[in-house]
Chains A and B, each alone.
Chain A
Amino acid sequence: MTGAQIAANALEGIRHGERKRLAAQLFNGFMYGAIGLAFLALVALIGQTAVKGLPGLSLQFFTNFPSRINPSTSGAQSAIVGTVYLTLLTAVFVIPVGIATALYLEEYADKTRWWNRLIEVNIQNLAAVPSVVYGILGLAFIVRGPLGIGPVLLAGGLTLGLLVLPVVIIVARESIRAVPPSIRDGALALGATKWQTVSRQVLPSARAGIVTGVILSLSRAIGETAPLLVIGAASSPRFNPSGLNDAFTALPIQIFTWTQDPNPQFVDQAATASIVLLLILLGMNGIAIVLRNRYEQRW
């Protein structure tokens, strides 16, 4: 074989790079089409909401209570305040319980024991249960039944807490698992106890993921309508909840109520409330992104 032949063999195929195969081009086109479709649907939805809702977005919308009679003086104050309270309550309930459960399962549980495996499987299944089922659970056990506290703010917070708890646990576990074992070994070899290792090294290293996960779970809770409807949130109350044992409403409930109204002006108010809800969600997701970028630990 001559030198020229060796070179020709080695280079064979290299020059064919320009000729893209048809299948690859088709698949490319399919992917862009899919993205375009999803994007189009989103733009259409937001566009329509904006066209209908933006004219109603005024200070009055935030300061007035919902009206049943006069759309021009109607607002969403009780729904916005209710949503803020509900979110805070859910967070208070879900953060300690979720992180503690995740820590137990990742750091302490003996995975060869059947009960620990049972807990694990159950949590994964619970994360996939439809939210209306949590509403029924809340109605049966919190509103009525053993707790029997009635359709009040606390019941709403506890129900939404139960709803997002499995997700918080799963996200927190993933963040804790991402901390390399060498960090635990390093701390334990210095004479730290198990708890010192977990609380001073593992948890701080996992905090970015945990905080992000909690915020994203809470933004899921904010948008939930079904469980709150089932447990009996008030519709269009003209007062803010004054305590844990007071009736409440939330933005999704208010939106739902308004869309049921025969008066089209109230339906437009539903669009305005949707914009407010979207802005709150965007804000929370923004905070999550900022926190993640700031505290994320790369190993």
Chain B
Amino acid sequence: MGSRSFSATVTNRGGELSSLDESLPEPTGAEVLPGESVRTSEVMSSLDHHEKGIPTSDAGLGMTIFDCQDVEVFYGSHQAIRDVSLSFGLREVTALIGPSGCGKSTFLRCLNRMNDLIPGAKVGGHVIYHGQDLYAPEIDPVQVRKRIGMVFQKPNPFPKSIYDNVAFGPRVVGMEGDMDEIVERALVRGALWEEVKDRLDENAFGMSGGQQQRLCIARALATDPDVLLMDEPCSALDPISTGRIEDLMSELKERISIVIVTHNMQQAARVSDKTAFFNVELAADEKSRTGVVVEYDATETIFTNPSDKRTEDYVTGKFG
């Protein structure tokens, strides 16, 4: 096991990190019991091994990274989702599918506390990440977002150079080490290095849409998160760019967990290990619409042998 823990990689800047660090379990070496969620230090240690060229250890496979219990979100008085209980496996790709307005993105944004930023949004239930409830009062949402990367529907590069786009995350979290190396590593992992290595100083707005989205992925990877949340990352892209991002996802899966919201069922079938089907539930008065999870299973089961009629109707294209 590598000795560097996450808190060593990311320097403490003005005590910002302390709150989450204290609340996460202490690094305890190889004491991970089967079925228990893997501790942050374990995940990070295995990342270190990978960096040194040692193959990723299988430790932690089959374990949970996220365990969500009865998650519900209110926007004002409107309930957007309710009773979402899902757990996501370590180094697995989980797809969230369902018709528009069923709360997939809302749920995704609960996982890194991005919903905190929406005025009037209120999150209930528990989102347990490596054994720690992310909505516990002592948790600082900024620290949560440092560990859980996110890629948005529309590529949103900063109006800066390619280099500065990637370096922004490491700079704000105060990562140590050679920034050039950090940027190169992130761009290599984002499958973009070969295309941009000679024009790192150029403005990111000059890239194609697909390149911009891979830049956003590389940017999210630069701070070494162990989860990547992707909110319909390919919906604004052409099929070729989509294919490249899907390839990239299966590579990234070697080291990190991915939760992806997608409208494209073929994409869910291609890239994910597990799939959760969300649907809209109309209230009795037929006025308010609330998202619920209908079925959650291995992707193959969802697409070939779903147990719920609504899932079957959706995946066969009868509605949605």
Contacts and interface: CB of A to CB of B under 8 A. Distances in A.
Contacts of A200: 168, 172
Given A110-B119, A182-B156, A201-B158, A189 B114 contact: yes
B251 interface: no
A295 to B, nearest CB: 10
Contacts of A193: 16, 142, 172
A189 B172 contact: no
A282 to B, nearest CB: 30
A68 B319 CA distance: 89
Q: Is the interface of A mostly helix, strand, loop or mixed?
A: helix
Nearest to A194: B142
Nearest to B165: A186
Interface residues of B, number: 27
B114, B117, B152, B156, most chain A CB atoms within 10 A: B156
A278 interface: no
B126 interface: no
Given A182-B152, A186-B158, A191 B114 contact: no
Given A186-B152, A186-B158, A112 B119 contact: yes
B156 A190 contact: no
A185 B114 contact: yes
B112 A189 contact: yes
Given A110-B119, A182-B154, A193-B16, A188 B114 contact: yes
B158 A188 contact: no
B145 A188 contact: yes
B220 interface: yes
B108 to A, nearest CB: 11
Interface in B216-267: 216, 219-220, 223
A183 interface: yes
B159 interface: yes
B7 interface: no
A183 B158 contact: yes
Given A183-B158, A190-B172, 7 more contacts: A184-B117, A185-B114, A185-B117, A186-B157, A188-B114, A189-B112, A200-B172
10 contacts: A183-B156, A187-B168, A188-B114, A188-B145, A190-B219, A191-B142, A191-B146, A191-B147, A193-B142, A299-B159
Interface of B: 16, 112, 114, 117, 119, 142-143, 145-147, 149-150, 152, 154, 156-160, 168-169, 172-173, 216, 219-220, 223
Interface of A: 110, 112, 180, 182-193, 196, 200-201, 204-205, 297, 299
Query: What 6 A-B pairs come out closest when comparing CB atoms?
Result: A191-B146, A182-B156, A190-B169, A189-B150, A192-B172, A186-B156
